Amino acid sequence: MEDRTITPSISLPSSSSLPAPEEDKSVLQIWGGSSLQGQVKISGAKNSALVLMAGALLCPDDCRLHNVPSLMDVARMGEILLSLGVKLERHGDTLEINASHIGQSKAPYELVSQLRASFFIIGPMLARLGVARVPLPGGCAIGARPVDLHVQGLRALGADVHIEHGTVHAYVRNGKRLKGAKIYLDCPSVGATETLMMAATLAEGETVIDNAAQEPEVIDLANFCRAMGARIRGAGTNTIVISGVPSLHTTEYTLIPDRIEAGTFLVAGAITHSELSLYPVIPDHLTAVIAKLQAIGAQVITEAPSRLRIVPGRYHTATDIETLPYPGFPTDMQAQFMALLTLSEGDSVITETVFENRLRHVAELNRMGADIRVKGNHAIVRGVPKLSGAPVVATDLRASAALVLAALAADGMTTIQGLHHLDRGYDNLELKLKQVGARVNRIIDNPDAASDASTPTLSPSTLH
Ligand code: UD1
């Protein structure tokens, strides 16, 4: 793959070249009904990439990250690091980060407001510089998503934190190092666990984070920090202990595969009644998703330690799902599983407990013929024999994946608008789907997108 340097003008993919959401006129056309076949290469984990890029701010030396996915969110995080004066270069899926000089303690609002995960830089910046000013990331489509746990934890570590004019200002009291503390998180927030773990790596003394998030990406961050010389134990359990060290050093690190991308392709196999083989994956990261696929009558076979095959059932039956922090069923797979359950026989109840506004895809799935009712944070999905292609609009990242999955199984053509959501978090999704036989086509800047996305502009025969 060609070498790429991430700079504000030539990042790849470049978030600055992305149309503003309201100007995004591209549509995805998908002709459903094809059966899929073959193998899919799973990219590195988005949520690891974003937080490890923030974690590289802890190191006054070169850090090299391998298996970094090519995504808009990664490009945006890259632009934020660049705006702080950090040097970044991308060579294929390797990202070289040099944060020896951080010339800015304030992150720009225009960039932070586009990417919630960029708020997580507050922890490493504070630990490195003794000062950090990061705009509040604001709400987003799936819920209010406050940062109170990040702020309380930083205060416990000895920082003065106040919020003024929409920006969180944090300073280290009495000198330059944070002080280890015992922190209890009211809920096991992934972002707060990561922010505080990064801040504590350079603090004086020991920090204990209780009720910590146990997600695999938290473990990935801990392993990356350990590779730089941090002393962290317990990541992956609900108690993480960090013994602060004065400084970290250069390292190379390979990100884990994306369990949500893998889960999405497992559902793609099930919903199209196709066998697909996925690699590399860490099957243990997908335990809850695999259990639910088995509950509806599909099989997931471990072909090799890092390879899974989905073998769909002839018919799938209903099952209930409740999203929970890891190792529970991931909220990031809820929408995709809902698409699958629309075509499974019987009634399923899906309960979203992590984010308060994460059922907006229901209306779009119903436009395709699904029978779903929402009551509070529950969705009651009554299985239907078939879906039919329709013009639909993606409302958030995982909702867009759910619509792609529904479209792959539907009769006729579906056109999906709002692709800026999809592009945030899936690395080459269309190419990967085409490689296993899906009929997918993107029309860039479709003039009809805003008014009538159902008008076909290409015939299925022109697709491959
Ligand atoms: C991360 C993931 C996201 C995933 C989510 C839950 C990244 C970049 N994103 O998001 O894909 O869906 O975990 O698995 O890793 N909360 C508070 N106060 C806080 C922080 C969080 O009340 O200070 C609440 C949130 O509003 C939410 C819940 O805690 O209801 C879980 O959020 P959290 O785990 O923090 O999610 P993120 O880290 O934002």
Task: Please list the pLDDT of the chain residue by residue as tens digits (464 residues).
Answer: 333 434 333 343 444 444 455 567 789 999 999 999 999 999 999 999 999 999 999 999 999 999 999 999 999 999 999 999 999 999 999 999 999 999 988 899 999 988 989 999 999 999 999 999 999 986 566 666 789 999 999 999 999 999 999 899 999 987 679 999 999 999 999 999 999 999 999 999 999 999 999 999 999 999 999 999 999 999 999 999 999 999 999 999 999 999 999 999 999 999 999 999 999 999 999 999 999 999 999 999 999 999 999 999 999 999 999 999 999 999 999 999 999 999 999 999 999 999 988 899 999 999 999 999 999 999 999 999 999 999 999 999 999 999 999 999 999 999 999 999 999 999 999 999 999 999 999 998 766 654 443 333 333 332 22
**Any ligand 1 atom below 6 A from CB of 354:** yes
**Any ligand 1 atom below 6 A from CB of 281:** no
Q: Which atom of ligand 1 is nearest to the CA of 188?
A: 34
Supply 82's token pair. 């660049």
**Any ligand 1 atom below 6 A from CB of 145:** yes
Q: Which of 72, 149, 190 to mutate to test the pocket of ligand 1 (most atoms within 8 A of CB)?
A: 190
What separation in Å is there between the alpha carbon of 191 and the centre of ligand 1?
6
**Any ligand 1 atom below 6 A from CB of 326:** no
What separation in Å is there between the alpha carbon of 188 and the centre of ligand 1?
8
Instruction: Please list the active-site residues.
Output: 140
Q: Contact at 8 Å (CB) between 126 and 104?
A: no
Q: Contact at 8 Å (CB) between 245 and 231?
A: yes
Q: Which helix (H) or strand (E) holds 15?
A: none
Cβ-proximal residues to 158 (8 Å cutoff; 6+ apart), any chain: 172, 173, 174, 178, 179, 181, 203
Q: Which of 185, 238, 354 to mutate to test the pocket of ligand 1 (most atoms within 8 A of CB)?
A: 354
Q: Which domains does the chain carry?
A: 19-43+257-459 (3.65.10.10), 46-254 (3.65.10.10)
Q: Contact at 8 Å (CB) between 58 and 201?
A: yes
Model's pTM, two decimal places? 0.93
